[in-house]
């Protein structure tokens, strides 16, 4: 029998074979048909079908740029020959659902990766609920508008969403990054009324919860960044809707309950109640959970953004305006400077000329809660706590950077090149140094911690730092509250702190607070265009400055005309390429404000 001839030529690993070239001829391997498709690892196969489990697939999967522009008359167009054609090189990041009613959960609470509820007995052990590295799946959908309660969501058209004064397109993603486990989660609802109605409750949804008095369907977007386990982040995603519904049922006013002022109180009370119940749960039925989570929760109600936060997750609102002089005088708004040809997003078309840069402003809509903030420091020290500060130079971040990414090289070069850390010349930012540029690996980090442990001063959970969930001091010693209206008991923490020499090993009040800050901003004002909201955990903000992030997203949405879903995925990818050492969760909400509905 003739011996088969040996295969000649360069060895090609199996996962690279037939990727771009047919190697069958050079390797003398007979094939009935050459496979030239891109290799897909086994753990990522069939992901496209899983992506849309809860999203009705409509013509949005092949929506043209012209159709997307119907939702935003100000969308830049790059030529008649381009507009009207389908999105080139479309993949799953371009698949955007037109309408969703249910709560969408992501990250460590994604039902595709984390089965069951964190309340199930199987998840009582601290490590039972860990979600290892999996292929992240982005979510994208349109929302807002006024939809009939009984309408078929599969029949919703682009024109149906154009009747309201406020609509939006959302993109959300949670990446594990370099960590072994993902402890972040996110929660999205584009139609909060219907999502709440589906939650079982002892009390039926009041009839007043109809759409009379509402200019658009309320939306909710939340990020929970867990630490010391994912239990707090999962609990928040699974239960927050219940607490919102309970507060609305208890405090609802006649007519629509989603007035902005009412929502402020509802958000604050729901977060506090959720924190209390989770802290109690951490020690029930054999649980020994030590988990906590920072929180960022935004609601769009009656053309207002109401946003609550705990910890170091941050939100940024960006818009282009007709009257830039008015915004220049507002201390909360910062002008987005034009970096000419030296930065990301500088290759602007005529639709996004230098005149637009002069009228583009952004503002942070959250307060960061870290021990280094003066107000937080005073509260911690009043509770007999203390703050430690460590210094570090993040050289490891440099080793993790991916310099094949053009945006990474651009941002990195700017941090190294310019003495002031950025090219901003406004009074609010001209004194920034290169050490404060989040991408500069030679900057000095000052990390403050509560009692040498936690780097955030407000969070859900972290029961060992809260007075109500720990035992009173054996000496039962009380101190009169400064207001004279109550007694503040001393309590002992179960943690083994490195106490200062003169410390009595007891505390009064919370070291870590569960009470959020709440802010409200009007959306869709006259003269405002190209408006979007960016929400992200510290996995993004640790490696990129606010103006860089805003500039990147603005370029993707309004110059490249990407979907919000793809923009969110790209920003999370950029954070990882910039060397982020944490999980990265990003939500991008592009806001469309149009004409008032006809009565």
Paired tokens of 518: 């709440």
Question: What is the pLDDT confidence band of residue 2, given thresholds at 50, 70 and 90?
Answer: low
From start to end of 2-120, where are the E strands?
Answer: 104-107
Point out the least confidently predicted range of 120-129, 222-231, 309-318, 320-329. 320-329
In this prediction, residue 366 carries a pLDDT of: 94
Stated length of the chain: 599
Higher pLDDT, 382 or 57: 382
| Mean pLDDT value across residues 104-124 | 90
Does the structure show a pLDDT above 80 at 367? yes
Angle 229-233-238 (CA atoms, 0-180°, nearest 5)? 130
Question: What is the pLDDT confidence band of residue 527, given thresholds at 50, 70 and 90?
Answer: confident
Q: For residue 174, which of 140, 139, 136, 141 has the smallest C-alpha distance?
A: 136
Question: What is the pLDDT confidence band of residue 423, given thresholds at 50, 70 and 90?
Answer: very low
Does the structure show a pLDDT above 60 at 279? yes
CA atoms within 13 A on the CB side of 114: 31
In this prediction, residue 198 carries a pLDDT of: 83
Query: What whole-number distance in Å separates Cα of residue 501 and Cα of residue 557?
Result: 55
Question: What is the pLDDT confidence band of residue 401, given thresholds at 50, 70 and 90?
Answer: very high
Does the structure show a pLDDT above 80 at 94? no
Higher pLDDT, 526 or 597: 526
Does the structure show a pLDDT above 90 at 223? yes
Radius of gyration of the chain (CA): 26
The continuous run of DSSP H or E covering 144 comes out as strand 139-144
Q: For residue 188, which of 146, 137, 227 has the smallest C-alpha distance?
A: 137
| Paired residues of 428 in beta bridges | none
Query: What whole-number distance in Å separates Cα of residue 232 and Cα of residue 235?
Result: 5
216 phi, psi to nearest 5 deg: -165, 165
Does the structure show a pLDDT above 60 at 544? yes
Give the pLDDT confidence of 482-517 residue by residue, as tens digits.
554 456 788 888 888 888 888 888 898 899 999 999
| Paired residues of 449 in beta bridges | 388
Query: What whole-number distance in Å separates Cα of residue 147 and Cα of residue 154?
Result: 12
Query: What whole-number distance in Å separates Cα of residue 500 and Cα of residue 175?
Result: 39
Mean pLDDT of the chain: 76
Question: What is the pLDDT confidence band of residue 432, given thresholds at 50, 70 and 90?
Answer: very low
SS3 for 459-521, per residue?
CEECHHHCHHHCCECCCCCEEECCCCCCEEECECCCCCCCCCCCCCCCECCCCCECCCEEEEE
In this prediction, residue 128 carries a pLDDT of: 84
In this prediction, residue 40 carries a pLDDT of: 54
Place of tokens 């230098």: 354
In this prediction, residue 599 carries a pLDDT of: 39
Contact (Cβ atoms closer than 8 angstroms) between residue 356 and residue 319: no
In this prediction, residue 473 carries a pLDDT of: 56
Angle 525-526-529 (CA atoms, 0-180°, nearest 5)? 80
Q: For residue 230, which of 133, 122, 129, 309 has the smallest C-alpha distance?
A: 129
Rounded to the nearest angstrom, the gap between the alpha carbon of residue 306 and the centroid of all alpha carbons in its chain is: 15
From start to end of 359-491, where are the E strands?
Answer: 360-364, 387-392, 445-450, 460-461, 478-480, 487-489
Does the structure show a pLDDT above 60 at 73? no
Contact (Cβ atoms closer than 8 angstroms) between residue 101 and residue 74: no
| Mean pLDDT value across residues 267-277 | 95
Give the pLDDT confidence of 328-351 residue by residue, as tens digits.
777 888 888 765 444 444 443 433
Give the pLDDT confidence of 10-48 residue by residue, as tens digits.
566 655 555 444 433 333 333 333 344 455 555 454 443
Contact (Cβ atoms closer than 8 angstroms) between residue 524 and residue 531: yes
Query: What whole-number distance in Å separates Cα of residue 96 and Cα of residue 563?
Result: 8
- What is the torsional sign of CA 559, 560, 564, 570? negative
| Paired residues of 507 in beta bridges | 491
Does the structure show a pLDDT above 60 at 199? yes
High-pLDDT (> 90) share of the chain, %: 39
From start to end of 215-358, where are the E strands?
Answer: 219-227, 292-301, 304-310, 314-321, 334-335
Angle of helix 231-251 relative to helix 260-281, nearest 10 degrees, comes to 130
| Paired residues of 589 in beta bridges | 170, 533
- What is the torsional sign of CA 522, 524, 529, 534? positive
């Amino acid at each position: 029998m003739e011996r088969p001839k040996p295969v000649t030529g360069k060895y090609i690993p199996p996962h690279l074979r037939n990727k771009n070239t047919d190697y069958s001829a050079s390797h003398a391997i007979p094939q009935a048909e050459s496979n030239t498709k891109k290799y897909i690892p086994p753990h990522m196969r069939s992901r496209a079908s899983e992506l849309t489990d809860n999203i009705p697939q409509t013509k949005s999967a092949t929506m043209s740029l012209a159709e997307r522009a119907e939702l935003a008359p100000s969308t830049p167009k790059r030529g008649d020959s381009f507009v009207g054609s389908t999105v080139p090189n479309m993949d799953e990041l371009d698949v955007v659902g037109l309408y969703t009613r249910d709560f969408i959960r992501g990250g460590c609470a994604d039902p595709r990766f984390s089965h069951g509820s964190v309340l199930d007995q199987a998840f009582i052990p601290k490590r039972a609920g860990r979600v290892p590295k999996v292929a992240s799946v982005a979510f994208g959908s349109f929302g807002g508008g006024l939809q009939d309660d009984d309408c078929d969501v599969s029949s919703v058209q682009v024109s149906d969403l154009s009747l309201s004064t406020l609509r939006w397109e959302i993109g959300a993603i949670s990446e594990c990054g370099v960590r072994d486990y993902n402890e972040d989660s996110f929660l999205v609802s584009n139609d909060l009324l219907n999502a709440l109605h589906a939650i079982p409750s002892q009390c039926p949804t009041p009839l007043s919860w109809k759409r009379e008095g509402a200019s658009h369907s309320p939306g909710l977007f939340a990020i929970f960044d867990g630490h010391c386990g994912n239990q707090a982040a999962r609990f928040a995603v699974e239960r927050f809707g219940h607490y919102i519904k309970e507060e609305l049922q208890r405090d609802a006013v006649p007519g629509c309950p989603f007035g902005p002022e009412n929502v402020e109180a509802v958000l604050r009370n729901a977060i506090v109640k959720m924190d209390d119940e989770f802290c109690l749960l951490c020690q029930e039925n054999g649980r020994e959970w030590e988990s906590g989570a920072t929180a960022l929760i935004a609601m769009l109600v009656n053309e207002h953004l109401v946003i609550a936060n705990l910890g170091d997750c941050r939100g940024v609102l960006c818009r282009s305006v007709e009257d830039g002089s008015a915004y220049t005088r507002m201390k909360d708004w910062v002008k987005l400077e034009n970096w000419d040809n030296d930065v990301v997003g500088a290759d602007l078309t005529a639709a996004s000329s230098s005149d637009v840069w002069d009228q583009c402003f952004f503002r942070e809509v959250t307060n960061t809660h870290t021990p280094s903030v003066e107000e937080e420091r005073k509260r911690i020290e009043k509770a007999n706590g203390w703050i430690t500060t460590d210094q570090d130079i993040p050289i490891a971040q440099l080793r993790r950077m991916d310099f094949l990414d053009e945006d990474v090289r651009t941002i990195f070069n700017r941090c190294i090149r310019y003495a002031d850390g950025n090219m901003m010349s406004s009074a609010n930012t001209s004194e920034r140094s290169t050490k404060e540029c989040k991408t500069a690996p030679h900057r000095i980090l000052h990390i403050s911690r509560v009692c040498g442990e936690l780097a955030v001063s407000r969070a859900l959970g972290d029961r060992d730092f809260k007075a109500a969930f720990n035992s009173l001091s054996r000496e039962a010693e009380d101190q009169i509250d400064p207001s004279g209206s109550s007694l503040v008991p001393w309590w002992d923490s179960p943690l083994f702190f490195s106490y200062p020499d003169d410390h009595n090993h007891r505390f009064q009040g919370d070291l870590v607070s569960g009470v959020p800050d709440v802010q409200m901003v009007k959306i869709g004002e006259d003269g405002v265009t190209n408006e979007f909201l960016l929400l992200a955990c510290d996995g993004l903000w640790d490696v990129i400055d606010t103006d860089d992030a805003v500039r990147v997203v603005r370029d993707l949405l309004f110059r490249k005309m990407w979907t919000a879903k793809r923009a969110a995925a790209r920003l999370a990818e950029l954070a990882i390429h910039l060397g982020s050492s944490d999980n990265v969760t990003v939500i991008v909400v592009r806001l469309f404000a149009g004409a008032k509905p006809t009565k």
